[in-house]
A and B are shown apart, each in its own frame.
Chain A
Amino acid sequence: DSGVTQTPKHLITATGQRVTLRCSPRSGDLSVYWYQQSLDQGLQFLIQYYNGEERAKGNILERFSAQQFPDLHSELNLSSLELGDSALYFCASSVDPGLANKEQFFGPGTRLTVL
């Protein structure tokens, strides 16, 4: 599959714990975006990386952090988890956000459940 991949598909953990979500962008895409989708809310932008550097930040909590590695995969770290962090976390990638074509390609998502 040459599309965006995310692991794991599902994650169940307890409050106070820390988890890491992983995303591999499409081959050739330099930009990675993270979104959170909670119940009753649309997709909320968390953070964007471009070629290893942070490009834009949204409503990302201080308990959350992310990075993009030299091979362009990205990880989203969520710590001190709370019940309200239960959500679908999507990763998306795009070729070069500076171009007119800004299509973002989405992964299947990781469903996080905090008990």
Chain B
Amino acid sequence: AQRVTQPEKLLSVFKGAPVELKCNYSYSGSPELFWYVQYSRQRLQLLLRHISRESIKGFTADLNKGETSFHLKKPFAQEEDSAMYYCALSSLNFGNEKLTFGTGTRLTIIP
């Protein structure tokens, strides 16, 4: 069974401080991990995926298979980063593309 855990429901960080949103997963096969973000009054949208190894809006996330983690990090928080963040997992196998989401972390950047 697929499971994604985001231990923090709420996280407040001062502007300019580093941010780390935690995500742990359990999955027996080969997972593909994503971070989705929902800004106020906007749709849920993809922020980044582990397969791309990209940095989006200053955020990065590294898949650690040993610790089964995919934590989201940003060195210097900005006010516009305030949003709801969801970690999600999908199978790499064709035919099983559903996303399993964590319960989300609401990030608030304090000016």
Contacts and interface: CB of A to CB of B under 8 A. Distances in A.
Contact of A43 (B46, B86, B95, B97): B86
Interface string A18-62: 000000000000010101000011111100100000011010000
A97 B99 CA distance: 11
Contacts of A108: 43
A103 B94 contact: no
Interface of A: 3-4, 31, 33, 35, 40-45, 48, 55-56, 58, 90, 92, 94, 97-98, 100, 102-108
Contacts of A100: 51
Interface range on chain B (Cβ under 8 Å from partner): 20 to 34
Contacts, number: 55
B97 A97 contact: yes
Contact of B97 (A3, A40, A56, A106): A56
Contacts of B4: 42
Query: Which 5 pairs show the lowest CB-CB distances between chains A and B?
Result: A97-B97, A42-B103, A106-B44, A43-B101, A42-B101
A42 B86 contact: yes
Interface of B: 4, 32, 43-46, 49, 51, 86, 90, 94-104
Given A4-B43, A104-B46, 9 more contacts: A33-B97, A33-B99, A41-B103, A45-B98, A55-B97, A56-B96, A94-B97, A102-B90, A106-B45
A98 B97 CA distance: 8
A94 B94 CA distance: 13
Contact of B98 (A42, A56, A107): A56
A94 to B, nearest CB: 7
A41 B9 CA distance: 11
13 contacts: A3-B43, A35-B99, A42-B4, A42-B102, A42-B103, A42-B104, A45-B98, A45-B100, A56-B96, A56-B98, A94-B97, A103-B49, A108-B43
A56 B104 CA distance: 23
A55 B95 contact: yes
A20 B99 CA distance: 23
B98 A33 contact: yes
